[in-house]
Amino acid sequence: MEFFLSYIPDGIIPIFSMIVAILYVCISIAAALHILFHKNDVRSSIGWIALVFLSPFFGTIAYILFGINRVSRKAVKLNKRNISQNARTYQVIKKNLPMSSIYANQFIAYGRNVYQQEFCDNNAIKPLQNGTEAYPEMLAAIKAAKKEVLVESYIFDSDDETDKFIEAFKIAAQNGAQIKVLIDGVGTLKFFRRNIEKKLKTIKNLKYAVFLPPLIPIAFPFLNMRNHRKIMAIDGQVSFFGGMNLSKENVLIDDIKKAVLDITFRVEGPLIDQILQVFESDWEFATRKPFEACHYISSGQNEQNIPARVIANGPDNKNNVMDLIIHGAVNFAIKRIVIVTPYFLPENHILTSLEMAAMKGVSVEIIIPEVNDHPIMRWAEQYNFRRLTQRGVKIYRTHPPFDHSKIFIIDDEWAFIGSANWDVRSFRLHFEANIELFDKNLVKQLFQIAQKKKEKAQIVTIEYCKKAGFFKRLRTNACHLLTPYY
């Protein structure tokens, strides 16, 4: 700077400095006003305003690049297909629930006010654990496709296991099916490229799209607004929905270091229409082209007859739907709360609700992996262990391999399943999709799956929390400060 200023006449330097100062003040004030009008979180707003004023120009540039939500999509018109004949009213759902009428009405009314999607009945939902159970059923359904195969995945690796899906796509294409594959711009990145694209390009009748590809081809650890949904739908008749990616890691269940344990769900019934609406919306956003998927046509009464609905959330939705649904469900719990999640970093209001539930006698169990694939997140989540265990919340840490499963059940009849983790990124910064359902039998099945995971886990005790040394607590507390950005 001194070298540059040496070439400027002395009389110009004060004027130049004044112009820079005025420019800094004006830009900083403009950024601060934008923050005040568009940021709802108090801590986030204070942090951004401090950065803007304390880091001249750099703070404003950082806010423009990383602090502004540029995702602007027209709201998806829910129930655009006529499935009103399947809508579940309060009275119909209430017949299957061992709740008081007031409780049932309040619980269902709350959920519908948070997200105005109707429940539909006559659905069959089957849990499939790991790629060893899920992939064979997925591949068989794809190979039998005659009209359409839709695939949406955060991660679609290129390996010898996913090559089976490439071959299945080719068979479906030979059957005359149109195939559409939507991959996330960051989730599928490997060494600065998405290798699966090269294979997808070779398949006739297949179109693929990339969701919000980054300008710089590198997977930043805190890059937001990712499409974290995992959806597969075939001919409008069967769908696979949950949190399982497409990768060889999902079949290596005995490999402690490389395996990823997970769960997804096979769905049949009119709920598929709601799943297809999510895919359509994401496809149209990524391609800027209109698209309408096959419509579900009933083939008779499903034995399970599960009332359910799809709840989609993302940074284009200012209502924080996932956060509100989960928070409300915790508050409505009477008997038990069971949470299985790979990452547990919810904000303080949900932590407080879990503590209050445990204090009033509700059994609260949180099952998380002892080691996950993000060390900083693993250290950060330990910050909350002591406060939760002191209030009676039971935390279980499963030994490797890494468990990526997501299950959330309340009492004996309600479950929330899908792609969302228990962290700020899933609740606010990523595009997620979950299914809310009422069914005693399926909830019992999910509870048994969770209990088997718990049997192989180690409980977190208060003694364990207290014996943490100074440097471990320092690391944990420092990592916890980044919770809003994970």
- 187 and 271 share one domain: yes
What is the CB neighbour count within 10 angstroms for residue 49? Answer: 19
Whether residue 113 lies inside any domain: the answer is no
Burial 360-394, CB ≥16 within 10 A → b, else e = eebebbbbbbeebeeeebbbbbbbbbbebbebbbb
pLDDT at 155: 95
Whether residue 116 lies inside any domain: the answer is no
pLDDT at 35: 82
Query: Is the CB of residue 271 less than 8 Å from the CB of residue 308?
Result: yes
- Determine the Cα–Cα distance for residues 76 and 282; give it in Å rounded to an integer: 10
- 173 and 272 share one domain: yes
Whether residue 201 lies inside any domain: the answer is yes
- 297 and 172 share one domain: yes
Q: Which long-range contacts (CB under 8 A, 24 or more apart) does 109-113 make?
A: 110/328, 110/332, 111/325, 111/328, 111/436
- 296 and 394 share one domain: no
- Among residues 44, 67, 90, which one ends one of the domains? 67
Fill in the DSSP letter of residue 400. Answer: S
- Determine the Cα–Cα distance for residues 318 and 73; give it in Å rounded to an integer: 12
Whether residue 419 lies inside any domain: the answer is yes
Query: Is the CB of residue 421 less than 8 Å from the CB of residue 343?
Result: yes
- Among residues 250, 279, 304, which one ends one of the domains? 304
What is the CB neighbour count within 10 angstroms for residue 285? Answer: 21
Angle in degrees, CA 320, 420, 172, rounded to 5: 125
- Determine the Cα–Cα distance for residues 456 and 458; give it in Å rounded to an integer: 7
- Determine the Cα–Cα distance for residues 172 and 186; give it in Å rounded to an integer: 27
- 29 and 165 share one domain: no
Q: Note the maximum CA span of the chain.
A: 87
Whether residue 108 lies inside any domain: the answer is no
pLDDT digits over 150-175, tens only? Answer: 999 999 999 999 999 999 999 999 99
Query: What would the two tokens of residue 84 be?
Result: 């009103």
Residue whose tokens read 């490997």? 190
Residue 89 backbone phi and psi in degrees, to 5: -85, 170
What is the CB neighbour count within 10 angstroms for residue 46? Answer: 12
The separation between CA 348 and the C-alpha centre of its own chain, rounded to angstroms, equals 19
Q: In a structure prediction context, what are the per-residue pLDDT tens digits for the chain, which is 486 residues long? A: 454 455 555 556 577 678 877 888 888 888 888 888 877 777 778 888 888 888 888 888 888 876 776 554 443 443 344 434 344 445 555 555 555 445 567 888 899 899 989 899 899 999 999 999 999 999 999 999 999 999 999 999 999 999 999 999 999 999 999 999 999 988 887 656 778 999 999 999 999 999 988 766 554 544 677 899 999 999 999 999 999 999 999 999 989 999 999 999 999 999 999 999 999 999 999 999 999 899 898 877 878 889 999 999 988 777 789 999 999 999 999 999 999 999 999 999 999 999 999 999 999 999 999 998 888 888 889 999 999 999 999 999 999 999 999 999 999 889 999 999 999 889 988 999 999 999 999 999 999 999 999 999 999 999 988 888 887 888 888 878 776 655
Whether residue 104 lies inside any domain: the answer is no
- 295 and 347 share one domain: no
pLDDT at 470: 82
For 235, residues 6+ apart whose C-beta sits below 8 A from its C-beta are: 145, 146, 147, 148, 149, 177, 294
Query: What would the two tokens of residue 275 be?
Result: 């799943």
Residue-number span of the structural domain to which 250 is assigned? 122-304
- 280 and 337 share one domain: no
Residue whose tokens read 């399943």? 417
- 326 and 370 share one domain: yes
- The model carries a pTM of 0.86
Residue 152 backbone phi and psi in degrees, to 5: -135, 125
Residue whose tokens read 């014996």? 467
- Among residues 52, 67, 82, which one ends one of the domains? 67
What is the CB neighbour count within 10 angstroms for residue 184? Answer: 27
- 363 and 291 share one domain: no
pLDDT digits over 317-343, tens only? Answer: 777 899 999 999 999 999 999 999 999
- 149 and 18 share one domain: no
- Determine the Cα–Cα distance for residues 132 and 253; give it in Å rounded to an integer: 8
CATH number at residue 235: 3.30.870.10
Side chain identity at 59, as an amino acid letter?
G
Query: Is the CB of residue 107 less than 8 Å from the CB of residue 332?
Result: yes
Whether residue 74 lies inside any domain: the answer is no
Whether residue 101 lies inside any domain: the answer is no
- Determine the Cα–Cα distance for residues 340 and 7; give it in Å rounded to an integer: 65
Q: Is 414 left (phi over 0), alpha (psi -120 to 50) or beta?
A: beta
- Tally the domains of the chain: 3
- 394 and 363 share one domain: yes
Dihedral (CA of 268, 274, 280, 285) sign: negative
- 366 and 258 share one domain: no
Q: Specify the 3-state DSSP secondary structure of 230.
A: strand
pLDDT at 192: 62
For residue 128, give the H/E element and its range: strand 120-129
Residues paired with 184 in a beta bridge? 211
